[in-house]
Amino acid sequence: MSERYEEYLTLGLITTRIGYMGKNNPPMSKLEEYESRRELREGFEQLFRAVERPQIVLAPELSTPRSFIKELEKHSCTLSSICIFGIDYQLDRVIKTAKNEIIVMVPDRWPRRNYNKKTYRFSIFKSNPSPEETKKLSLNNWNFSADNRLWLFDTGPYGVIGVANCYDFLDVEMHLLYRAKIQHLFVLSYNKDFNSFWHTAESLCRTLFCNVVVCNTGYYGGSVCVAPYETPFKRTIYRNEGNRIFATQVIKLPIKKIVDKQKNIRPDDELKELPPGFLNSVGYQINIVHL
């Protein structure tokens, strides 16, 4: 981790509104690909015109056609932004398996705003399919292929990022592994039960003591960003309600204050207190009483 941290990270969100999983998929239909590409291009145009361009851009789970990946690389280079995007299923048509993928594209000169010639690409595959996802895939004769690797991205002065794919957000074991290791948790989702994710984001923001951003499909709405501020109105940095809404938003996430508090360097009344057991294990002793 870096010894010097920036005050804020500028984050962009593009929430497309394609009702993907309601059809006989995967893969995306030609019409869905066309509409997704159109909305993603419009989102990048808006971010390019923003007063302050984002250093990182998110798009929801399953929002990006595989045919858009090369174009995504160009946008990442032009905008000089890391792009963390949910991609359409990676399919193995021989053994009939489907992998749910997030691509992380890092411009070669990031975070500098110089001209970038290429990106470095990382693939994160979902570990835990939701019951509904498993059911819809099986109805179309696909088996979900899981991956058990947990990825953390150390961006130096902009903090360490954890990335979760929708239902993985609820994985209790992952929460324990993230403890005291990250300043940002980015969640890409295609989730109709966004109220549960809102409450989970608020809870993990407190227990993991980090920024939590849920970038949900605009088809259902419900994207949210929370930071561990003491004052409630400051804690919710961004929240999007309403369905079938295409939206592009640029927000700022605190970094240095969170790092200082995590390391117990100096008190900060603007942030909440660290939760019990954050820095050191409490060392509980379990007593079981059989009644």
Q: What is the CATH number of the domain that holds 192?
A: 3.60.110.10
**What is the model's pLDDT at position 19?**
66
218 inside domain: yes
How many domains are contained in the chain?
Answer: 1
**Looking at residues 210-217, what average pLDDT do you find?**
97
Give the per-residue pLDDT at 284: 80
Q: What is the pLDDT of residues 84-97, one digit of tens each?
A: 999 999 999 999 99
In a domain, 66, yes or no: yes
Domain assignment present for 154 = yes
- 3 CB contacts (<8 Å, ≥6 apart)? none
Q: For residue range 15-46, list pLDDT tens digits in order.
A: 998 866 545 578 888 889 999 999 999 999 99
Assess contact for 43 and 16: CB atoms under 8 A: yes
Predicted confidence (pLDDT) at residue 58 exceeds the cutoff of 80:
yes
Residue-wise pLDDT for 147-161, tens only, equals: 999 999 999 999 999
User: Which one is predicted more confidently, 287 or 160?
Assistant: 160
Average pLDDT, the chain: 92
Residue 268 predicted with pLDDT over 90: no
Q: How confident is the model at residue 280 (pLDDT cuts 50, 70, 90)?
A: confident
- In the chain, pLDDT over 70 holds for what percent of residues? 96
Residue 194 in any domain: the answer is: yes
Domain containing 125: what range? 8-262
| Residue at 252 is within a domain | yes
pLDDT for the residue numbered 20: 62
In-domain check, residue 215: yes
Give the residue-averaged pLDDT of 59-77: 96
- Domain contains 1: no
Strands 247-254 and 8-15: antiparallel
Structure confidence at residue 21 (pLDDT): 54
Write the burial class of residue 41 (CB in 10 Å: 0-12 exposed, 13-18 middle, 19+ buried): middle
The predicted-structure confidence for 111-134, as pLDDT tens digits, reads as follows 887 778 899 999 999 999 999 999
20 domain-assigned: yes
